[in-house]
Structure 1
Amino acid sequence: MLDDPRTVRITGDDVAAVFRRADDVDAESRPGSGRTGPVPEAYVWCNLTSGNGTRALWLLLLPFMVVNLAHWMRPTARHRKRTVRLYGLLVRLAGLTLTVLLVAAACEVALDLAAWQCAGTGACAESHSWLGFLSPDVSDDGWWSRPGRRLALAALVPATLTGLLWYLSHRTWSAYESQQPLSHEGEAEEDDGRTALGRPGFWYGRRLVARLRAAHTAAGLLTIAAAVSSTAARFDRAPGGPAPLDTLGRLLQLSLVAGGGAVVWVVCRRGRSERHLDRQLDEQLVRRLPLTALVLLGLAAVYAGWERPGWQSQGRLSGDATFGGIALVQGLLVIALAVVAHLLYRTHTDPRAAMRGLAGPAVAMLACALGGVMSGGVSQRVADWLDGTGATIPGPPVLLTWQASVIPLVLLVLLGHLACLARRTWRSSRAQLATVESEYPGEPKDATRTRRIARTRAMAALTDRGPRLLGVTAASTLLLGAGALVGALTTRRTPAKAAEGAYAFVESAAETAQALGSWLIGLGFLLFVTWGRRAYKDPSARRTIGILWDVGTFWPRAAHPFAPPCYAERAVPDLTWRIATWTRTTRGRLVISGHSQGSVLAAAAAWQSEPSVRARVALLTYGSPLERLYGRWFPAHFGPAALTALHHDVDCWRNLHRLTDPIGGPVRLPGDCGPEVDREPLRDPLVYGRTDLHPLPAPILGHSDYQADPAFAEERAKLLGRLQPDLPSPRAQDEPGPRVQDEPGPRAQDEPGPPAQDEPGRSSA
């Protein structure tokens, strides 16, 4: 980034720090040293977004991150505060169902498949020696061979998982997100209604995250307690069951229901507090709610482990009712969320908003589908592993089999849509051949070179068709998932068994779909984990998913506390503090330059700065997704009004983009502001053929190396010339300033300098 092997850390720690070249450490104190040009300064936070290969485990929490994104995708709404609160409430409830789904899947694997079905069946237990001490057929006099005690012991697995999620959420908050933003309480009441990113408490959601963490932890523990005690309670309620235990079971069930009601109340009670820096913490609630749920889990384990003569494990646990109820609630929440989003969109129509304001509900549906795929995949694979013959245990719940069976149909719909996109891309590529040749007049034409440039432009344009692909995926998932739920509830049999006796074609199709879906759901889960691991080792794979991961972890945890940590809650305060302190100390000229995701951090830091600081700052963005991705997918925070306000708040702003860039694009400000910010698309490649200055073929840069283009230095010089030249300054030309850029992970640095490295995972600002 600094183009110098000798660098010195100015301030910061091993997680995020500010660096300068060794020759520029004391540049402010040497105004007459004869140096010309700006002083670059690099802010590095790569340890917030990448790191070692263990970070791939964060991908297991992808459904939580996706549902958290849905919270921020609401349409722009003016004077509809209650509707906005209802939107956030529905997303938080959807996130709560994902926690219950994950813990229920762990209970299905540990309690139902392993402890109840396999350990209760002699043939299955004999083939797995580690379950021998739990099986009554293998160990007749074993203390753990009783059904309730087996369930109580197996409950340690989902309880450990819940504790691990709580620990990760608490630890990442302390490590990454506990940095308080620069306090400017005098502006707490000032709100232009165009974006919330400038509010004092936007990047400090400690109180809400703590409340949600307590509620979700309690929800997980209560789910385990219900799974452990429900089967024993049904046995006690049967004719001839023990009356004292029946009474205890009813009291315990009522306590679990009351605990679940308390969890829902906590989730519904409070949303984000952004208009002021909320330093309070609900200590009693945060501590007592999980502790109460843990006590109830212990009571449930004791209750289930009580001696019950004649109690044997047969069939399945109540997994069908549990997963069916979760799927039904998630479907209703997504539909209600779509209605609310449509009402918000109608109050302020934005033609550029993705899916006409329905991106949030579609993403929430995708999060629920990912949770179903992951839970179903683990259950199917564990069942296949435990039951090698396929006939010793009943297997996972029928609903999971139905959900797996519709996956091939969803893939067929997606493949059909992808085929249409491929055809449209091919036609667009052919249509641009003449345009490409006209942009390089006077040079010998090469058909292969022209096709490559046109194809790159057409492929880059696929980003703009992402909303339609997401809409098709969400709609097909919702409809086919509803069909799977109806089929499971009405037949109570797997698709293959339900089709027995029908036409041979129907029966064969049902068996094929069931087998193929079972393998696809397991294969997809394995590929998901291995690809995530590869993404932290292979730079090319990291480039592919890096921008999506950075978008997901840019936003604070507002809907789900177990989502991966928000790096911006550390990076934005760091940048804001550095900008404010440097301008206050030196009163020099400052250019914040941002590439890719780093341009979003640059905008966020500018919004968080005081008006007096913003008025003395210039903004240079390139390869920026501010409008193309954030403006379309997050219109309430990066819509036209917010970006226009940013243009008026900073002293000056220029944006560079290429037609070959699949991520960056123009800012598209309305009216006369558009030409002031957006420069005409940069030529890519710089030259068509071989020239004296470029004797070798110039590469198609796409999203990379914007600083290698002469337009970058030209625009930087113009900004420095326009940036309040009458301000008192400690030196004539040596003023440092921040720069932010990213590929695909965020980077930020002070005032434009030499070309930056585009190696992903290395961040500087």
Structure 2
Amino acid sequence: MSAASGTWSGASTPQPSTPDGSAPDVLELRVHGIRNSPPQDMLGTPTSNIALAQDGVIPLGDSLAGFYTVREPLPGEKTHLEAYSWGNLDRFLRGNSLLGKAGRTLYNLGWFIIAPFGFSNAAYWARSFRPDASREGGLRTGSGGGVVRVFALLLTLWLVAAVSTVAFDLVAVQCFLPTGVPNSWKLCSALPSQFDGLRELTRGQRLAALSLTPIAAVVLVGLLGFASNVRFRTRALDAARARGLDAEHDAFALAVPALWVRRRINSPTGTLHIAASLLLVVILLMSDAAAHDGPAPVSLLSVAAVELAAVGYVVAWWSRSVRPPLVADFWARREVWAYFLLGTAILTYVVCVIVEATTPTTDQTAPFTAGQLTPTVILVLLTILATVGCVVRSGYHEWIATAVLTVGVLALVVAVGGWLDPLGWAANAAAVAVVVLAGVGFVVPYVVLRRREPRRHEHAWHGAGPGVFMFVALLIGAFLASAVALGTGSYLRSGRLQSLPDRGDPLFRDVSIPAGAHDIAVPTVFWAFGGVLVLMVLFVIALLGVPAWFGVQKGEIENPPVDPSEKAFKPEIEAVRRSSAFMQRAEPLLHTVSWVIGVTVTVSLAFTVMRQARGQTGRWAWVLGVLGSWLGGRDGLAAFTAFAEWAVLTSVVLGALAVLAVAIANSATTGASRPLGLLWDLMAWLPRAAHPFGPACFSERAVPELADRMIRWLEPDGAPAPARRVLLATHSLGTVLGVASLFHLAALGRADLLKRVRLLTFGMQLRPYFGRFFPELFGPEVLGTPGVAAPSFWTADPWKGKDLHDAPTPSRERTAASAAQAAAHSGDSSRSVAGTPLTELLDIPEGAFAIAPRPQPVWINLWRRTDYLGFPGYSYSATPNNLDRVTLEMEPDSYMARVATHGNYFMTLAYLEARDDLLTGW
């Protein structure tokens, strides 16, 4: 390394050369990943020695992302070094002032709220889908697209239901008690004085006044996505280049030209989500009015229900393609129908507010029943759709599976609730039989269809990836809603406690509840589905994690062996290897957690139904009697109930405090203001195709920019430059962006340029994570590399024996047949490579990654066993091979001896050797 410029030099090794003997002009393009080191670190030079690269007078970047280069390269250096920095795309930087940090904290909290939306988006891309040139966007969504999008709509309605519970049930109804004087009320002492003005209103007028609260919550979430949408938009030049091309019928999804193009800021589906939110508010208010004020609001309730069903149908219907048609007749345009449905929803809401404010309420103290039932119904529907998501990859038709499961759940509800008791035991037996038949009709077809899938071992969670992501979204959504409802309820209930000093003791005071004091009742669903769910998941993680941690500490990870030069640090290296391997067991852990979520939700549903139905059917009244006898009578039951409420509330409060702490910590740390860190990065790299308010996709800017930069270098001023080359060096999530950009080049009809590209990857997750979670995007068939089975949870080395080297990979015959078919269909042979795996796009011979040596590598992957996020691309056991190279496991530039993990590959000798091997003789 030169002290003058601070850049690493490869001058000591042979320089690359073209076949005619001339020296090529090589662009070494470095793309960092999740940690996103600043460009000066990627270039190995001081900050004063870097600048934005330029194409003529045009700077190749802005404050969010761009290509940086060295101002003063080393004398005689033939390689042009650039670093693509995209870190500011996923950061919210507004200065280090108090107001700036407060703004970032609120921004981070907003991202926690939309985290379930991001997981629903991941579920969308984890399904099985295929390119289709007849569809706008070039993709046919396949089975499960409608289920995931309806699930996403229900997540928005779940947010509306949670906020409505607080605004309508807890505040507008339970916090106001009549005083006996007309239009006069007692008010919760915990409410701020700003609510005093509502005391002069009727119950209906208060509900109408607070009806904007849940709508405002949805609009704010939409604005959060809107703000980031502008930051990540595809450049006009890159979008125009892709729009002029159609997807090939046999292409991989990554080779669809319009995959990374975002056309507009607004979203017709987002408009429908707002319309659905308005309609749910109308249903809540009119359900309450119809239950207590006679039949007048029933007609408006029916209209709102029909409109909401229409919105859900349209959302499911639009799921047939990823994006709306670019050109369509007026009545076929999605915007027209979206704004029409929004307009009717606004009109219905306005009429609802008028009816609610003018209709006299006969029973001012009646419970807000709709607020108790609606969250339960929504969460049951979310659970049904998440379960259906577990089977859609097998080919089970999504709506048939949904119908079978819905019938079984309805039969379970009526059987558990006891509503069939008046019809006798035969009716209950028939309901149980329906439940059993529905279970058989759901499971057996899935098992049969799944066994027919030859690549099922390469798919995460036995092909249940969409459902697992949906269950995780369900867990986070239930927790956030419970935190809002239970936290607000506890705050309002605090006013009932009276604190009096104990005159006989200077240290303690008496806290008591006055006789006849009113209490605030939070709906059962938030106790059962929120807090209990969190407790069960934490319990399972502790139950599995603690024994696994102590178990792996006794084992050793021997493959690959520790390098002889680092034998002195073998104990430290082995310890980091074990801890890194422990962190790589996310897939089996999430598999178990998903089962726990499903079982817990089912049990909680049964408990909620029993509690809701006990006053009507009397079926389960004896349960409380038996439980009371076990606990020592009524006092014991009350003590147990209080303890259970305390445990649930404590778990939710601690979780909420943890969320708040992370948000504040991210906002207080300079340069580390990503709201969810790694989790956010893994959600936001995917195009936003399921939930319109989810995290915006930074890849829609980064991937076309990388492809454009390679085109600009290999064809300066639009003219071919045969002597030019590109060495694409990518780290971690940067490898995802880099590989996607190579397929994007093929999609643009520039596969000929890929013959002049070499790939150097390090710290990547393509094979065990992205390839298993999203097989259609990065599976073995797409990459052309062998697959890998799921990691083991209980062994020290989770990947021992997991290589699937015998798994089928695309053959040359298949590729040739696909190319001929596509060329015959399109008449354009230059674009007949979009269905070609990455290895063949890079002109890597079949079987070249095996043990036999190759004279000229095209793709080299660096990894170390102490890297918790870095994996081999070919094999864990077949080392050495022609794709993977193991780097040393001690930090190369640390003052004190320190074990290396996920970063600092640029400074290793293995990187320099791999770089020179790729360039030499090229």
TM-score (norm. length: structure 2): 0.69
Aligned residue for 2:760, secondary structure, equals strand
| Greater fraction helix | 1
- Alpha carbons 1:623, 1:663 under 8 Å: kept: yes
C-alpha offsets along residues 412-434 of structure 1, whole Å, 9 cap, x if unaligned?
22210112321332123xx24x7
C-alpha offsets along residues 102-125 of structure 1, whole Å, 9 cap, x if unaligned?
011111111111111103465543
* 1:415 and 2:542 aligned: yes
Aligned to 1:295: 347
Aligned to 1:658: 864
Aligned residue for 1:520, secondary structure, equals helix
> What displacement does 1:71 show?
1.2
Structure 2 letter corresponding to 1:188: D
Aligned to 1:458: 578
Closer, same or farther: CA 127–458 of 1 in aligned 2, 3 Å: closer
C-alpha offsets along residues 715-760 of structure 1, whole Å, 9 cap, x if unaligned?
11121235xx4xxxxxxxxxxxxxxxxxxxxxxxxxxxxxxxxxxx
- Tell me how far apart the structure 2 counterparts of residues 174 and 318 of structure 1 sit (CA, whole Å): 38
Aligned to 1:250: 298
C-alpha offsets along residues 624-652 of structure 1, whole Å, 9 cap, x if unaligned?
11112211211221110111111221252
Structure 2 letter corresponding to 1:354: A
- Tell me how far apart the structure 1 counterparts of residues 62 and 161 of structure 2 sit (CA, whole Å): 40
* 1:259 and 2:307 aligned: yes
- Alpha carbons 2:140, 2:321 under 8 Å: kept: no
Structure 1 letter corresponding to 2:153: L
Aligned residue for 1:700, secondary structure, equals coil
Aligned to 2:293: 236
Aligned to 2:272: 215
- Tell me how far apart the structure 2 counterparts of residues 519 and 457 of structure 1 sit (CA, whole Å): 35
- Alpha carbons 1:59, 1:529 under 8 Å: kept: no
Aligned residue for 1:201, secondary structure, equals helix
- Alpha carbons 2:130, 2:253 under 8 Å: kept: no
- Alpha carbons 1:113, 1:383 under 8 Å: kept: yes
* 1:15 and 2:64 aligned: yes
> What displacement does 1:462 show?
2.3
- Tell me how far apart the structure 1 counterparts of residues 912 and 50 of structure 2 sit (CA, whole Å): 23
Q: Comparing 152-161 with 404-413, which one deviates more in the overlay?
A: 404-413
- Tell me how far apart the structure 2 counterparts of residues 549 and 533 of structure 1 sit (CA, whole Å): 16
Aligned residue for 1:327, secondary structure, equals helix
* 1:629 and 2:769 aligned: yes
- Tell me how far apart the structure 2 counterparts of residues 21 and 338 of structure 1 sit (CA, whole Å): 50
Closer, same or farther: CA 132–308 of 1 in aligned 2, 3 Å: same
Aligned to 1:395: 521
Q: How does 1:214-613 map to 2 (within 5 A)?
A: 214-237=271-294, 246-247=295-296, 249-271=297-319, 273=321, 278=326, 282-308=334-360, 310-343=362-395, 345=450, 346-388=452-494, 389=496, 392-403=518-529, 404-428=531-555, 431-432=556-557, 439-441=562-564, 449-492=569-612, 498=624, 501-504=628-631, 507=637, 509-538=640-669, 546-585=677-716, 586-587=721-722, 588-609=724-745, 610-613=750-753
- Alpha carbons 1:402, 1:514 under 8 Å: kept: no
Closer, same or farther: CA 169–259 of 1 in aligned 2, 3 Å: farther
Q: Comparing 567-576 with 181-190, which one deviates more in the overlay?
A: 181-190
- Tell me how far apart the structure 1 counterparts of residues 606 and 703 of structure 2 sit (CA, whole Å): 47
> What displacement does 1:35 show?
2.9
**Greater RCO, CA 8 A, separation 6+:** 1
- Tell me how far apart the structure 1 counterparts of residues 919 and 524 of structure 2 sit (CA, whole Å): 66
Aligned residue for 2:72, secondary structure, equals helix
C-alpha offsets along residues 470-521 of structure 1, whole Å, 9 cap, x if unaligned?
0111111111111111111112389999576241188455542332012211
> What displacement does 1:547 show?
2.6
C-alpha offsets along residues 65-88 of structure 1, whole Å, 9 cap, x if unaligned?
111111112258899x99962211
> What displacement does 1:296 show?
1.6
Structure 1 letter corresponding to 2:882: E
Q: Comparing 153-162 with 336-345, which one deviates more in the overlay?
A: 336-345
- Tell me how far apart the structure 2 counterparts of residues 673 and 86 of structure 1 sit (CA, whole Å): 39
Structure 2 letter corresponding to 1:190: E
> What displacement does 1:126 show?
4.4
Aligned to 2:158: 101
C-alpha offsets along residues 381-407 of structure 1, whole Å, 9 cap, x if unaligned?
101111212752342111212232453
Structure 1 letter corresponding to 2:594: A
* 1:682 and 2:887 aligned: yes
- Tell me how far apart the structure 1 counterparts of residues 774 and 221 of structure 2 sit (CA, whole Å): 28
Aligned to 1:125: 188
Q: Comparing 702-711 with 252-261, which one deviates more in the overlay?
A: 252-261
Structure 1 letter corresponding to 2:883: V
* 1:154 and 2:210 aligned: yes
Aligned to 1:755: none
Structure 2 letter corresponding to 1:664: G
Aligned to 2:79: 38
- Alpha carbons 2:763, 2:871 under 8 Å: kept: yes
Closer, same or farther: CA 77–156 of 1 in aligned 2, 3 Å: closer
- Tell me how far apart the structure 1 counterparts of residues 323 and 842 of structure 2 sit (CA, whole Å): 22
Closer, same or farther: CA 282–174 of 1 in aligned 2, 3 Å: farther
Q: Name the larger-Rg structure.
A: 2
Of residues 71, 90, 106, the one that matches 2:124 is: 71
- Tell me how far apart the structure 1 counterparts of residues 208 and 261 of structure 2 sit (CA, whole Å): 40
- Alpha carbons 1:316, 1:394 under 8 Å: kept: no
Q: Comparing 327-336 with 10-19, which one deviates more in the overlay?
A: 10-19
> What displacement does 1:206 show?
4.4
> What displacement does 1:538 show?
4.1
- Tell me how far apart the structure 2 counterparts of residues 308 and 544 of structure 1 sit (CA, whole Å): 47
- Alpha carbons 1:225, 1:297 under 8 Å: kept: yes
- Tell me how far apart the structure 2 counterparts of residues 677 and 518 of structure 1 sit (CA, whole Å): 52
C-alpha offsets along residues 593-619 of structure 1, whole Å, 9 cap, x if unaligned?
101111110011111012122222111
Aligned residue for 2:584, secondary structure, equals helix
- Alpha carbons 2:475, 2:534 under 8 Å: kept: no
> What displacement does 1:572 show?
1.1
C-alpha offsets along residues 299-337 of structure 1, whole Å, 9 cap, x if unaligned?
111110014163413323422211111121112112222
- Alpha carbons 1:63, 1:368 under 8 Å: kept: yes
- Tell me how far apart the structure 1 counterparts of residues 629 and 64 of structure 2 sit (CA, whole Å): 62
C-alpha offsets along residues 543-578 of structure 1, whole Å, 9 cap, x if unaligned?
995332211100011111111111111111211222
- Tell me how far apart the structure 2 counterparts of residues 522 and 491 of structure 1 sit (CA, whole Å): 25
* 1:198 and 2:325 aligned: no
Q: Comparing 53-62 with 491-500, which one deviates more in the overlay?
A: 491-500
> What displacement does 1:219 show?
1.2
Number of equivalenced pairs: 683
Closer, same or farther: CA 310–316 of 1 in aligned 2, 3 Å: closer
- Tell me how far apart the structure 2 counterparts of residues 274 and 406 of structure 1 sit (CA, whole Å): 33
C-alpha offsets along residues 8-40 of structure 1, whole Å, 9 cap, x if unaligned?
32323222222222236xxxxxxxx96313111
- Alpha carbons 1:405, 1:514 under 8 Å: kept: no
Aligned residue for 2:915, secondary structure, equals helix
Structure 1 letter corresponding to 2:78: G
Structure 1 letter corresponding to 2:865: L
Identical aligned residues as a percent: 26
Aligned to 2:92: 51
- Alpha carbons 1:105, 1:379 under 8 Å: kept: yes
> What displacement does 1:184 show?
4.6
- Tell me how far apart the structure 1 counterparts of residues 730 and 565 of structure 2 sit (CA, whole Å): 35
- Tell me how far apart the structure 1 counterparts of residues 463 and 162 of structure 2 sit (CA, whole Å): 32
Q: In angstroms, what is the RMSD of aligned CA positions?
A: 3.4
Aligned residue for 2:628, secondary structure, equals coil
Closer, same or farther: CA 478–208 of 1 in aligned 2, 3 Å: farther
